[in-house]
Amino acid sequence: MEPKCYDRLKGQPAIVTGANSGIGKAVAVQLAKEGAKVVVNYIGNEEATKEVISEIRDFGGEVMAYKADVSKEEEVVAMFRKTIETYGTVHILVNNAGIQKDAAIDEMSLEEWQKVINVNLTGQFLCSREAIKEFKRRGIDEHISNSAGKIICMSSVHDVIPWAGHANYAASKGGIMLLMKSMAQEVAPEKIRINSIGPGAIKTPINESAWSTTEAEQKLLKLIPQNRVGEPADIARAAVWLVSDESEYVNGVTLYVDGGMTLYPGFATGG
Ligand code: BGC
């Protein structure tokens, strides 16, 4: 059910990376519904980006698009500069951009390894670093939020569940887990909050082959105790809570939004 809008993020500039499809798009739209001024970061597919922008403008939300590769230092720095020029500051970063390049470990090329690490892990480092600089510079503005800034690192159930055939992806997500916790520990005294969301199987383009046919979906459901593949909106609602003052004392955790996928479903009947 669509939640009511409460303006929980009124006036807060928010950068969402990889925001023209899947989870990123749902998060961008939901933050805007709560009053955030959203920067829709993207790397390709201008058409899809325009659709997100008009969806947000249609309900009166404030939004701009910004094309940048999160794994490129200069592009990330320029994106933060432009956001601060346009909206005055940044209060929220959602490190969402992520890719998969699956291969058996003995067939994985160095390029497949590096590309995934660069986008999924280095991209989160670069964006977080720029966000934290701005959060520290500004400090707390109590009219806006009780925190000086909030970061969500979009992780995965695969920051704890090993994943054969996806070692590059699982390594990037495992890395995100300790990047997130180390940063959270370091900047908590400045009232900056950093947490992860660990989505399970969510219906998005990244995993379409795992749910788009009935056979595939039945197989996938065996891994999900709640017996439902997730929707991007499930993640978007959690994201709003995690960057709002309602979660003010939550810091350095991964919130799994996965229908129970991390509960070792094989043990429901075995062991
Ligand atoms: C992956 C999806 C996968 C899900 C559950 C996500 O992080 O991107 O492809 O379906 O984890 O395994």
pLDDT in tens, 213-248: 999 999 999 999 999 999 999 999 999 999 999 999
Query: Which of 14, 74, 22, 77 is closest to 205 using CA atoms?
Result: 22
Q: What is the pLDDT of residues 42-56, one digit of tens each?
A: 999 999 999 999 999
- Domain segments of the chain as ranges: 13-260
Is the pLDDT score of 65 beyond 70?
Answer: yes
Structure tokens at 102: 């699956």
Q: pTM, whole model, 2 decimals?
A: 0.97
Q: What is the pLDDT of residues 77-111, one digit of tens each?
A: 999 999 999 999 999 999 999 999 999 999 999 99
Out of 155, 158, 226, give the residue to mutate to test ligand 1, the one with the largest number of ligand atoms within 8 Å of its CB: 158
Q: Which atom of ligand 1 is nearest to the CA of 207?
A: 9
What are the residues facing 15 on neighbouring strands? 39, 93
Q: What CA–CA distance (Å, rounded) separates 255 from 160? A: 12
Q: What CA–CA distance (Å, rounded) separates 54 from 63? A: 9
Is the pLDDT score of 3 beyond 70?
Answer: no
CB of 200 shorter than 6 A to ligand 1 = yes
CA 245 to ligand 1 center in whole angstroms:
29
Q: What CA–CA distance (Å, rounded) separates 199 from 188? A: 24
Length of the chain, in residues: 271
**pLDDT, averaged across the chain:** 97
CB of 154 shorter than 6 A to ligand 1 = no
Question: Tokens 């890395």 belong to which residue?
Answer: 175
Q: What CA–CA distance (Å, rounded) separates 64 from 49? A: 10
Is the pLDDT score of 203 beyond 70?
Answer: yes
Q: What CA–CA distance (Å, rounded) separates 68 from 42? A: 6
Rounded to an integer, the average pLDDT of 32-51 is 98
In the prediction, which pLDDT does 270 show?
Answer: 86
Burial 191-221 (b: 16+ CB within 10 A, else e): bbbbbbbbbbbbbbeebeeebeeeeeeeebb
Is the domain spanning 13-260 CATH 3.40.50.720? The answer is yes
In the prediction, which pLDDT does 5 show?
Answer: 57
Tell me the DSSP string of 206-268.
Answer: GGGGGTSSHHHHHHHHTT-TT-S-B-HHHHHHHHHHHHSGGGTT--S-EEEESTTGGG-GGGG
CA 200 to ligand 1 center in whole angstroms:
6
Query: Which of 174, 219, 216 is closest to 198 using CA atoms?
Result: 174
Please give the positions annotated as active site. 169
CB 51 within 8 A of CB 77: no
